[in-house]
């Protein structure tokens, strides 16, 4: 399975996990590749697939009490870095960065900086690439304007309301990236 296909499956399965967490009023606060476990399973037709699971809930918190800086710096949402109130949208930002890491866009896996402004600008610049046109709402710096997990799952399952005009049909049935 290519990085693109893995990224698509991680995005969909983790979006569903984050939607569930939001329903439970929890924010994970440390979404990153190392906290996504997987195993290989077999469908009834004999085809293999990856099943991904979110792990390491040590930093998780109810939204009302999620205030401290927590997580892995390169994957942290701007509001976490800035010690602002945190919501479910912080996990959406981190999931986008995880997808960028999986795809290794612009050699992201080896990218390093201590400058939080440079980092968030790099993420928002990457989000402007055509390959991310359908999910760039995950990387909006203002958490109030960032795409929700519920909206992301709906988009991935084919509800294209509010998506770019070129979007039609379920994203699960075709690649959302090139």
- The per-residue pLDDT for 65 is 60
Catalytic residue at 30? Answer: yes
**Residue of 30, 115, 121, 130 marked catalytic:** 30
- The per-residue pLDDT for 37 is 96
- The per-residue pLDDT for 113 is 86
Say if residues 88 and 22 touch (Cβ distance below 8 Å): yes
- The per-residue pLDDT for 72 is 82
At 99, is the secondary structure helix, strand, or coil?
helix
pTM: 0.87
* Domains contained in the chain, CATH given: 3-173 (1.10.510.10)
Alpha carbon distance 27, 6 (integer Å)? 24
Helix (H) or strand (E) holding 18: helix 3-23
Alpha carbon distance 78, 92 (integer Å)? 12
Say if residues 175 and 8 touch (Cβ distance below 8 Å): yes
- The per-residue pLDDT for 169 is 41
Residue ranges in the chain modelled with pLDDT below 70: 60-68, 160-178
- The per-residue pLDDT for 71 is 73
């Amino acid at each position: 399975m290519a990085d693109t296909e893995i990224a698509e499956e991680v995005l969909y399965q983790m979006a569903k996990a984050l939607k569930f967490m939001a329903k439970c009023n929890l924010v994970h606060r440390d979404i990153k590749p190392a906290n996504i476990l997987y195993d290989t399973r077999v469908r009834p037709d004999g085809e293999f697939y990856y099943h991904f699971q979110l792990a390491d809930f040590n930093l998780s918190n109810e939204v009302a009490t999620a205030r401290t800086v927590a997580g892995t710096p390169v994957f942290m949402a701007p509001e976490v870095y800035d010690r602002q109130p945190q919501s479910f949208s912080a996990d959406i930002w981190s999931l986008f960065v995880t997808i960028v890491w999986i795809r290794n866009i612009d050699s992201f896996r080896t990218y390093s900086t201590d400058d939080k402004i440079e980092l968030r600008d790099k993420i928002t610049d990457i989000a402007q690439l055509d390959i991310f046109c359908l999910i760039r709402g995950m990387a909006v710096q203002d958490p109030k304007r960032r795409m929700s997990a519920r909206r992301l799952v709906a988009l991935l399952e084919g509800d294209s309301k509010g998506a770019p005009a070129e979007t039609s049909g379920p994203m699960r049935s075709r690649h959302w990236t090139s």
